[in-house]
Amino acid sequence: MMQEDLVQIQELNKEIGRLLIEIARKAIKEKFNLDRLNLEEYNNPILNKKGLAFVTLEKINGNTTSLRGCIGYIEAVASLKQIVASAAKASAFSDPRFYPLQRDELSQIVVEVTILTKPEEIRVKDRWELPKVIKVGEDGLIIEKGILYSGLLLPQVPKEYCWDAETFLAETCIKASLEPDCWLDNSVKVKRFNGIIFRESNPNGDDVLVIRPNEVKCKLGDLLTVF
pLDDT tens-digit readout, 52-81: 999 999 999 888 889 999 999 999 899 999
Q: What is the pLDDT of residues 176-200, one digit of tens each?
A: 999 999 999 999 999 999 999 999 9
Q: How far apart are CA 132 and CA 155, in angstroms?
A: 16
Single-letter residue type at 205: G
- What structural domains and CATH numbers belong to the chain? 3-117+195-215 (3.30.700.20), 120-192 (3.30.1490.150)
- 221 HSE (CA, 13 A, CB side): 0
Residues in contact with 148: Cβ distance below 8 Å, sequence separation at least 6, in sequence order: none
C-alpha 146/C-alpha 191 separation (Å) is 14
pLDDT of residue 4: 55
pLDDT at 198: 97
Low-confidence ranges of the chain (pLDDT < 50): 1-3, 221-227
Residue 153, Ramachandran bin (φ over 0: left; ψ between -120 and 50: alpha; else beta): beta
Nearest to 101 by CA among 73, 67, 74: 67
